[in-house]
Each structure stands twice: as C-alpha cells, then as structure tokens.
Amino acid sequence: MMEGVVLSSFMSAPNLSGLVFTERRFEYTVFTGKRRKDSGMDSCVEISPPLPDENSSVAAEAGPLDTDALLAKHHKALSGELHVAVPADSTLLHVADFPSTDPEELEGMVELRAEDLTPFPMDRTYYGWELLSATETESKVLIALAGHGVIDPLHAKLQAQHLLPHRVDVDVLAWWRLLAEENREVSRLLMIVDGPQTHLIVVDHGTPVAFASLGDLRGCPVEELLEDMDITLAGVEADRGSVRVDGLSLWVRSETPEALESEKIVAAYDGEVSRHDLREVPEMTQGLVLRGLDGGKRKTLDLAPPAWKAEEALRATRKRVLGWSAAVAAIWLVGAVGLAGYVKIQENELQTLKRNLAAQQQSVETVRDLSRQVRSLGQFTDRSASALEIMRIMAEASPGTGGVLIRDMHYRKDQGVTISGEARGDFFQFQDALGASEILRVEDFDTKQEREFTEFRVITRWTWQDDEGGTMGSAP
C-alpha cells in the first residue's frame, strides 16, 4: 500500500534505476513509468549472510558478495537514469541552519561549512546538499561529505559494465524517504537495524535533524549503545538547543539484537519504545528511486563529481548522434531499396513496352508490305498510272508543238518517273504542269542552258507515296 501511494504521482516519469552494492548487500530497483502499461517498481536483492529460512534459525555462513560478478549479471536490467547509494557509515551527514533561502547564497554557505566539516583536504572531498525545510528567511539544509576513496571506486566498477551513475546518494536517506510519511509531525528517535548496519535518525517535528551510524549491534552492550545515542542527542542540542524526544521507534529486519531487548532501553525512553518489522517496508532501493523521482521537483543531495555529469552529457550526446545517424542510414537504405525497386519496375515496364512496340511494328510492316503488294498489283491493272498515261501528261504539259523534246523516260512503278530531254520553249511551264498532275509530284530537277535549247532532267514521284510515307521497295 505504501508503494502504491508514493508512485501515483510519478506514472508519467521516465525509467529510473536505483542501485546499492557492497560486500554485504547487492540490491537494485527499476522504475518503469512513462507510457508503460506495466508502470511500477521491480526489485532484486542479494545479501550476505542470507536470512534464515523457515526451517532454520541459523543463517548461512557469511561471505563477501562478488559485486563485479553481480554487476556483470544484472547490468542489462538497469534502465534509465542510474542512482547509486553509498553506506551512511562511509559518509559524514550534517544538518545546518543558514540565514538565507537563495539557492546561490546557500551553495556558497554549504561550501564553507563543508570545508569546516571535512576531515580530508577539499580537493579530496566530494560534498552535496539538499533543502530539508525553509521559512521566509532561513533554510535547514542537509550536507553530506565523502572522500574520493569512497566515491571513485564506484565509478570504476560501474564503468567496467558501461554504466555511469547519474546521482550518488546515501542509503540512510533512502530509508528515511520510505519512513518519512509515518513520522510526519513527530519528534522521536528512529532506529533502523538492517543486519550489521544500524542507522539512528533524530526527528524533530517530522524533520530529520541528525544522522548517526551505530554499526553492528550484535554483541554490543546496552550501556555502550545508550552512550552512543546520548552522544548523538548531545551533538544535536549543542547545535540547536534542547530537542524534545518522545520515544524510540525501532525497525528491525530479522532477529532483534540483544541490546535492544534490554529493559534499560525501555526505561531510558519511559516505555515509549515501538517495534516494527523492516521487512514490511519496501526495499531500500525503492526509496532511492523515489528520491531520484523527487529530484524532478526539488534539489536532492548528490555526491557525484561534476566530471561525471560532463561524461554523462557527452555519452547522451553521442547516443543521440548515433541514433540520428542510424535513423538517417535507415531512411537512406529504405530510400535506396525503394528507388532500386522502382527503377527495376520501370525497367521491366520498359522492356514490356519495347516487346509490345516490336510486335506492333512487325504488324505495321506486314500491313505496309501488303499495301505495297496491293499497290504494285493494282498498277498492272490500273491504267491511270501507266506509261501511256504519263506520256499523255507530258504531251499536255509541253508548251506548244515541239516545245519539249523527250529523249529518255525512265518509268518505275514503285518510285516514279525520271524524264530527260530538251526544251526549246519555257521549261518551267513544263515543270509546273507536271507537278500539277494528280499522280505525279516533282521531287527534283536540274537544267543546262545551251545556245538554242535547255537540257533538263526531272525526277518525279508518285503522289500516293506521300500518303504511305515511303517507297514500295519493289522493282517493276
């Protein structure tokens, strides 16, 4: 039920993964949101030593987890932005009040406070911060610091699997994200016991004001535990004055450490000790994912160095460029294949048209041959184009008696008539008269002027050849 409530406002968010990996715990959660029917969270947890099974009260022998092998096994399951958490006992967490609400001013104030808090040189320290609460003039800020020796190995291990963290968080803050709703508006000590890790959170009116890592409580004397808790409270009072604590809320995953069963614990908090099963809470990396999703609405703590951000941006740019290149190549390939297919289709159509045209041309030539044969045969019976008819036409075309002397007439039924002779009258009148004939057309002529006459040669063609577009192609 807790998970359903917190996820309802994030269904439109993109995919995001939360990851924790140490020698004792390997855990990840993948959130699938935007445009997915199966929106939600899927978690995977491997711990060492494993919890006892139902038939045994003794856990298996402890042994460090092979985180490299587990990353190699599960890295493909991680999708979207990768948010990684480091153990709280390897960081320093500090809550401070600053007299400003301006983000730029707060950034400078946090940097100065980090220089005071870090046990390392600043060039060997990573720090991050987030706003816990604010009034009109003041801000309550959580600051986290970690040495390079804590953060840099994460980058090396993840890079070996081609993974790059988007943000580095602290595990106790993921637990607080899951338990904050149940501790709204209360003032108490919140203790989370998860195997060898014990987190102590001082809550003042629903806001955490101090964090402490108490280590492994198994075998720890109750007096030592109470002393550590008193030191934490004393530090809070030194920073901000008296703090009201109304009780102790214990969240334990499996077997409760003996020190927490002691009556001294109950007496120290006037019987106001509540006990809860940590297994009823979603996995810790789900809280890490929720904090990552919160980052879309407000600034959340991030211990990742700026160089990682630049590397992430470069990788995203390369991915986009490769995506664009692949898209362009795919479009080009589809276009090339389509064009090749279109050209092939056009070539096939062209070949079909050529075959059809060849068949049609063959039919046309057949018709023309038949036409020529009919014309040739017709000329044997049609006296309108006979040699006698030609002689009649020449006689009528001659300009007066003896005006034209025909020396030679070459008559071809498939071509026309070639006439040679002498003209003592007007040659051009003779030529025009020939051309005016219904069956002859003057195609060419040449003349040679002599002293008393004009030698000529006239080439004529049958007029029916103009209608058929060529010669008949047969000899008389």
pLDDT digit string, tens, across residues 89-104: 999 999 999 999 999 9
pLDDT in tens, 40-83: 788 888 877 665 554 444 444 557 889 999 999 999 999 889 99
Could you tell me which of 426, 441, 424, 433 has the C-alpha nearest to residue 394?
433
Mean pLDDT of all residues in the chain?
Answer: 84
Structure tokens at 202: 């001082």
Do 348 and 275 reside in the same domain of the chain?
no
Share of the chain above pLDDT 70, in %: 87
Do 342 and 298 reside in the same domain of the chain?
no
Give the phi and the psi of residue 443 in degrees, each rounded to 5.
Answer: -95, -40
Do 352 and 262 reside in the same domain of the chain?
no
Average pLDDT over residues 449-474: 73
Answer whether residue 365 is part of any domain.
yes
> Rg (Cα) of the chain, in Å, rounded?
53
Share of the chain above pLDDT 90, in %: 40
Give 8-25 as a DSSP string.
GGGTTS--EEEEEE-SSE
Alpha carbon of 286 to those of 17, 27, 39, 293: distances in Å? Answer: 9, 10, 14, 10
Beta bridge partners of 84: 19, 168
Cβ partners under 8 Å of residue 193, min gap 6: 217, 250, 251, 252, 253, 256, 257, 260, 278
Confidence at 378, pLDDT banded by 50, 70, 90: low
Alpha carbon of 33 to those of 17, 161, 163, 284, 321: distances in Å? Answer: 11, 24, 21, 19, 25
Boundary-marking domain end, from 362, 381, 400: 381
Answer whether residue 309 is part of any domain.
no
Could you tell me which of 177, 184, 236 has the C-alpha nearest to residue 212?
236
The sheet carrying 81-86 orders its strands as: 40-47, 25-32, 16-21, 81-86, 167-170
Cis peptide before 476 (omega within 30 of 0): no
When mean pLDDT is compared over 177-186, 376-385, 424-433, 458-467, the highest value belongs to 177-186
Element (H, E) at 406: strand 404-412
Do 367 and 408 reside in the same domain of the chain?
no
Do 411 and 279 reside in the same domain of the chain?
no
Structure tokens at 421: 């002779």
Pick the more confident residue, 435 or 288.
Answer: 288
Average pLDDT over residues 371-396: 73
CA distance 187 to 208: 9
Please tell me the predicted confidence (pLDDT) of residue 383: 67
Do 195 and 207 reside in the same domain of the chain?
yes
Average pLDDT over residues 189-214: 93
CATH number at residue 403: 3.30.1360.100
pTM, rounded to two decimals: 0.65
Q: Range of 237's domain?
A: 2-304
CA distance 446 to 457: 5
Give 72-104 as a DSSP string.
HHHGGG--SEEEEEE-GGGSEEEEEEES---HH
Do 19 and 116 reside in the same domain of the chain?
yes
Which of the residue ranges 277-286, 344-353, 357-366 would you say has the lowest mean pLDDT? 357-366
pLDDT in tens, 104-147: 999 999 999 999 999 999 999 999 999 999 999 999 999 999 99
Q: Is the pLDDT of residue 341 over 90?
A: no
Could you tell me which of 460, 270, 474 has the C-alpha nearest to residue 369?
474
Please tell me the predicted confidence (pLDDT) of residue 61: 55
Answer whether residue 133 is part of any domain.
yes
Do 359 and 400 reside in the same domain of the chain?
no
Q: Is the pLDDT of residue 35 over 70?
A: no
Q: Is the pLDDT of residue 27 over 60?
A: yes
Average pLDDT over residues 369-376: 71
Pick the more confident residue, 459 or 312.
Answer: 459
Do 349 and 296 reside in the same domain of the chain?
no
Do 205 and 331 reside in the same domain of the chain?
no
Cα torsion 460, 464, 470, 475: sign:
negative
Do 123 and 259 reside in the same domain of the chain?
yes
Do 274 and 388 reside in the same domain of the chain?
no
The sheet carrying 404-412 orders its strands as: 404-412, 416-423, 454-462, 440-449
Please tell me the predicted confidence (pLDDT) of residue 467: 62
CA distance 222 to 367: 122
Report how many domains make up the chain: 3
Boundary-marking domain end, from 272, 304, 336: 304
When mean pLDDT is compared over 201-215, 250-264, 384-398, the highest value belongs to 201-215
Boundary-marking domain end, from 335, 352, 381: 381
Pairing between strand 248-252 and 273-277? parallel
